[in-house]
Structure 1
Amino acid sequence: MLLSTGGYFRWIISLILFLGIFCNYMLRIHIDFAIIQMVGNGTESKYPQYDWTPLEKSWVLGSYFYGYILLQVAGGRFAEIYGTKIVLGVSMLSSVVITFLIPWLASLSPWAVVAVRILQGLFLSPTFPSLPPFTVKWSPITDRSKFVSITQSGGVLGPILTFPLCGLIMDHAGWEMVFYITGAISLVWCLIWAIFVSDSPETNRWISKSEVDFISAGREQLVARKELELEGKAEPNLVQIFVRMIVSRSVWVVMSCDFAYCWGLYALLVMGPTFVEFISLESGKQLTYTENALLTTLPFLAQFIFCQIFGFLSDYLVEAKHWHRIKTQKLFVTLELLPPAVTTIAMGFITTDPLLCIIVMTAGFAFTGACGSAQIQNIFLQAPNRAGTFLGISNGFGNFAGALIPVICNWLTHGSLGLEELTGWRIFFASATVFYVVACILFSFFAVDTQQPFDTFYVDKSHRNNKNGEMTHNSA
């Protein structure tokens, strides 16, 4: 059972992190829904509205990701060196301040919002890369999939609650209050994070000694800094690690899965409210903001449920049925990518019935909840010591999708191609199918489960400089 062994405080930590990821998503996606009322849809409103063009709107929606991709690798490395508590804490607090400023900046210019959203993305970019160093310290390997599934599903809860919350606020108080309320909720989380969380069980004042011993005995061996110093070795710099990772085929396999997952995710997360508004107007069924939000969140609710199921099933297959971990990960990558590959094409051809379209969308997207038991788990096998840097590379590459999606969607549906808007939407969603299938094939044939040389590479301090002044290295 979940809480029957070793103690329960690590699960409280996982819950706090779960809520933190929820707040993180709330801060990044509130504008995806609020912008519907900010720019209006041809109807009168008692709240401020702006005459932004489709191009300006696409830039506002995509600008977050231009900043978000910049500190992915550095953020993971910072967490490995300085700890997740300070990296994630500063990241979230900075984003809260920016959220409070958005309503004022929107009154100035859409490009003021673009600028500040790039900055917000920059601050939040270390979020997910900062998690692996924290995860390997707080979870024994027998609980790893459950711990990851719980924490990662906070990102799924984000749209489940944020979109309906935004809809209610916009129906009763206007879009400006969306930013003030979501910012205040996130600020409360920052206080909880500062009080109860530490970077490892050994340094936490709230946990029992018996649970510390249980976690310590159950996690894989990590290279300690003091051990390195005794052996005359030191950590290489970020550039050295990055180069070794980026030329590794096994890293690119994981990166392909992250890109495919993010393309499908952001297609719904960023453009989902706009798409639901489009199909509702096409069918002649005008929806309130709250109704739009509830329909948009159905796929994420299903993903949240499946994420928990897959997390427990993954640990069960490995521990009880003795499945090899790479075999389990390949199974869950297949479940994660192939069902939505089918439904993303299908939904573009049933737009005359919004409810049926959303049901089909939900049926496929639910399976993406397997990501916490799929390629993310593979990162821990390849790089237990540098999982943060690895995830930074992979997540940064994946989130290029978020930067591209609003611009490409606008180009297909309102651009210079001369396509009917419905045809543009169909092509847009079909592109996700291509990425899903290609990534699934790559992982099935080329994924590995052994610790890679880039994770065991260290600088020899005693021979840091040879007689020619060149740095020498070795692997441990």
Structure 2
Amino acid sequence: MDHQSPSRKAPGLCSLRYSLALLLHFCNVAMISQRSCLTLTIVSMVNSSAPQGVPNASTSEHLDSIKNPVYNWSPQTQGIILSAIIYGMPFAQIPMGYISGLYPIKTVTSLGLLLSSLCNMLVPLAAEQGESLIIACRVVQGLSQGTVMVAQYTVWSKWAPPLERNRLTSVSVSGNMLGPCISLFATGFISQSLGWPVVFYIFGAGGCALSLLWFLLFYDDPAEHPWISLSEKEFITSSIVQVSSGGKSVPTKAIIKSLPVWAISLCCFAFSWTNTIMFMYMPTFLRAKLLINTREVRRRAGRLLTPLPPQNGVLSGLPYLLGWVFGNLAGCLADFFLARKILSLITIRKLFTTLGLLLPSLFSVSLLHPGASHLSTVACLMLASATPSFCTAGMLINPLDIAPRYYGLVKGITILFGIIGGLISSTLTGIILNQDPESSWLKIFLLMAALNVTSLIFYLVFMKVDVQDWAKELQQIRL
């Protein structure tokens, strides 16, 4: 594929393509906020500072119970409810990756976000009906979010000029990091002032509005967009090799045998493994290493006894914010290196994949140093959680290089590997912590580092940036 810049110039940050990237960014913010807000509100949903059903309860207590209903869910039930959204995601990856190459991305993405938003707004009602309904609601929400996760990547196969793919992708995908940060800061305030059900209504309504905007403003082909300028249309269409969307059979065997696909998939497995450990078990590690009980802080905030203290809010939200910064920085640097011909495309992919997998390994192993101060421990933990975002300009966008026609399908395969990695890492880490509390973190971080390094070596050896032979067929028959 030709990665040289065309002679014509088009408007940059004020262009339609950057506006669409920003809109998709906020769509991801809404979607991930919907996914993560339950992790905080569930504390209010199952705990109360006053006994329920007391005959002489005050009027204020009665009103608070109406504003914040409480349910008798066991810890096991709470765990199932929280993880139910993950159950639906694996089933969406490969089928939706294939469908996104056949049906309009505009429809697939907007309907997926709309369904997720409606499910989010139904959570309070489903909770009243029983845990089975809320679990089913979360599974459907996971299925719809998995659809958006895959379909959105296909947008840039037609909208992103080669020298801007990294920036446009990083802008849109970085919403996945900003979403939990916003959810973390906003959920406590909304719950305290309006009640926890309003959290789901606000994030759900926001998602519905964004899905409508996406449906109205986005067109699959820039040549068909009614509001795009002529100069930008010519710039995009002349920069991108247009691929056919005809109904040819998928080269399944070739994809399965493709070493570059396996290289990307293994890195996605390691990437998700690292992210899951860092974000799910950061409070556990801080409590064990520094005796900082962030769970108790969140429990108190959930009981509406006191707002989340500022220093703990920053401690919980800073990794997401840093990840958002690093992801956008990686995209800008990658396009800068490519446009100035400082580095080749293959070197850029290898560089940012190396940074995204090797730096978390180094920072996490540094956490085990016995003489580390509290400040250095927190700094290393933040960086270990945020630096995987460098992969945004590395292996996460690599499927677009090797198979633009089957980008959605290949991306679905790699995301599926990532989901599996996250599920295994969360389960295995819990088992290690329960069985061997004394040396558990040594095993956890060394295993994570070994997996990252092994996957990285495989990637550096077998990765490619040229369109693979099995992905060229439809391009060759294009008129």
Q: Give TM class, smaller chain.
A: 0.7 to 0.9
Structure 2 letter corresponding to 1:23: A
Q: Per-residue CA shift, 1:190-233, capped at 9, x if unaligned?
A: 121122111121111111111100111112x13235xx6xxxxx
Distance verdict in 2 for CA 1:241–1:410, change over 3 Å: same
Cα distance 1:141–1:12, how it changes in 2: closer, same or farther (>3 A)?
same
Q: Give yes or no for contact 2:286–2:292 (8 Å, CA) kept in 1.
A: no
Q: Structure 1 residues 363 and 457, CA, compared in 2 at 3 Å: closer, same or farther?
A: same
- Say if 2:306 is the partner of 1:306: no
Aligned 1:248-287 pairs, distance under 5 A: 248-272=258-282, 275=284, 278=287, 282-283=291-292, 287=297
- Report the CA distance between 1:281 and its aligned residue: 9.7
* Cross-structure match for 2:24: 17
Residue 56 of structure 1 and its aligned partner are, at CA, apart by 3.0
2:396 is matched with 376
Structure 1 CA distance for aligned equivalents of residues 355 and 387 of structure 2: 6
8 Å contact kept, 1:99–1:183: yes
CA shift at 1:37, angstroms? 3.4
- In 1, the alpha carbon distance for the partners of 2:474 and 2:288 equals 55
Structure 1: give runs of 5+ residues left out of the alignment: 229-233, 461-473
Q: Report how far residue 277 of structure 1 moved.
A: 8.4
Q: CA deviation at 1:389?
A: 0.7
CA pair 308-276 structure 1, distance change in 2 beyond 3 A: same
Structure 2 counterpart of 1:262, one-letter code? S
5 Å-filtered alignment, 1:237-252, equals: 240-252=250-262
Q: CA shift at 1:430, angstroms?
A: 4.8
Matched residue, 1:387: 407
> What is the distance in 2 between the residues matched to 1:20 and 1:386?
23
Q: Find 1:315's aligned residue among 308, 311, 335.
A: 335
The equivalent residue for 2:61 is: none
Match of 2:207 among 172, 175, 186: 186
Assess if the C-alpha contact under 8 Å between 1:10 and 1:138 holds in 2: yes
Instruction: Give me the whole-angstrom Cα distance separating, in 2, the residues matched to 1:261 and 1:306.
Output: 15
Per-residue deviation, 1:113: 2.9
Q: Deviations over 1:341-360 (max 9, x none)?
A: 12234447789988764432
Please tell me whether the aligned partners of residues 29 and 269 of structure 1 are also in contact (alpha carbons under 8 angstroms).
Answer: no
Q: Is residue 171 of structure 2 the alignment partner of residue 150 of structure 1?
A: yes
**1:338 offset after TM fit, Å?**
0.9
Q: How does 1:302-381 map to 2 (within 5 A)?
A: 302-347=322-367, 357-381=377-401
How far apart are 1:448 and its partner, in Å?
1.5
Question: Is 1:59–1:407's contact at 8 Å kept on the other side of the alignment?
Answer: no
**Residue of 16, 19, 26 corresponding to 2:33:** 26
Report the Cα offset of residue 269 of structure 1.
Answer: 4.1
Question: Which of these residues, 422, 434, 452, is aligned with residue 450 of structure 2?
Answer: 434
SS of residue paired to 1:370: helix
Q: Contact conserved, 1:283 with 1:351, CA < 8 A, in 2?
A: no
Q: Is the CA contact 1:379–1:390 (under 8 Å) kept in the aligned structure 2?
A: yes
Give the residue type in structure 2 aligned to 1:158: G
Look up the match of 1:90.
111
| Alpha-carbon distance in structure 2 between the residues aligned to 1:173 and 1:267 | 33
Are 2:251 and 1:235 aligned?
no
How much does 1:408 deviate?
3.7
- 1:202-221 counterparts in 2 under 5 A? 202-219=223-240, 221=241
Q: One-letter code of the match for 1:160?
A: C
Deviations 1:156-182, CA, capped at 9 Å, x for gaps = 111121111122223434433221221
- Give the secondary-structure state (helix, strand or coil) at the position aligned to 1:13: helix
For 2:316 and 2:36, the matched residues in 1 are separated by 13
Q: Which stretch of structure 1 is more off in the superposition, 330-339 or 353-362? A: 353-362
Task: Give 1:223's aligned residue.
Answer: 243
Q: Distance in 2 between matches of 1:60 and 1:425?
A: 27
2:372 and 2:129 map into 1 onto residues whose CA distance is 38
Deviation at 1:331, TM superposition (A): 0.8
Contact 2:243 2:474 (C-alpha < 8 Å) held by counterparts: no
Contact 2:33 2:180 in 1 (8 A): yes
Change in Cα spacing, 1:266 to 1:107, as seen in structure 2 (3 Å) is farther
Describe the superposition over 1:361-389 as per-residue Cα deviations: whole angstroms up to 9, x where unpaired: 21223322212210023212110111111
- Write the distance in 2 (CA, Å) between the matches of 1:426 and 1:35: 31
Q: Is residue 6 of structure 1 aligned with residue 10 of structure 2? A: yes
Once the two structures are TM-superposed, the CA of residue 311 in structure 1 deviates from its matched residue by 1.0
Amino acid in the other structure paired with 1:388: G
Query: Residue 70 of structure 1: SS of its match in structure 2?
Result: helix
Relative to structure 2, which stretch is displaced further, 401-410 or 204-213?
401-410
Question: What's the offset of the Cα at 1:144?
Answer: 1.1
Q: Percent identity?
A: 24
Q: 2: distance between equivalents of 1:167 and 1:16?
A: 26
**Correspondence for 2:146:** 125
Which amino acid is 1:450 matched to?
A: D
User: Structure 1 residue 268: deviation in Å?
Assistant: 3.8
Distance in structure 2 (CA, Å) of the matches to 1:264 and 1:391: 19
Aligned to 1:465: none
| Bigger mean CA offset, 359-368 vs 256-265 | 359-368
Report the count of equivalent residues. 443
Distance in structure 1 (CA, Å) of the matches to 2:319 and 2:127: 30
Distance change (3 Å), C-alpha of 1:378 and 1:294: same
SS class of match (2:177): helix
Q: 1:28: how far off?
A: 1.8
Alignment of 1:398-437 (within 5 A): 398-413=418-433, 417=435, 419-420=436-437, 427-437=443-453
TM-score by length of 1: 0.83
Q: 1:450 to 1:242 in 2, by over 3 A?
A: same
Aligned counterparts of 1:351 and 1:19: Cα–Cα separation in 2: 42
Distance 1:140 1:191, change over 3 A: same
Residues 149 and 378 of structure 1, relative CA distance in 2, 3 Å threshold:
same
Rounded Cα–Cα distance in structure 2 between residues aligned with 1:351 and 1:32: 33
Work out the CA distance in 1 between the residues paired with 2:199 and 2:286: 19
Unaligned runs of 5+ in 2: 1-7, 52-63, 302-307
Report deviation, 1:6: 0.9
For 2:398 and 2:119, the matched residues in 1 are separated by 35
Letter in 2 for 1:255: S
RMSD: 3.2
* 8 Å contact from structure 2 (residues 349, 393) kept in 1: yes
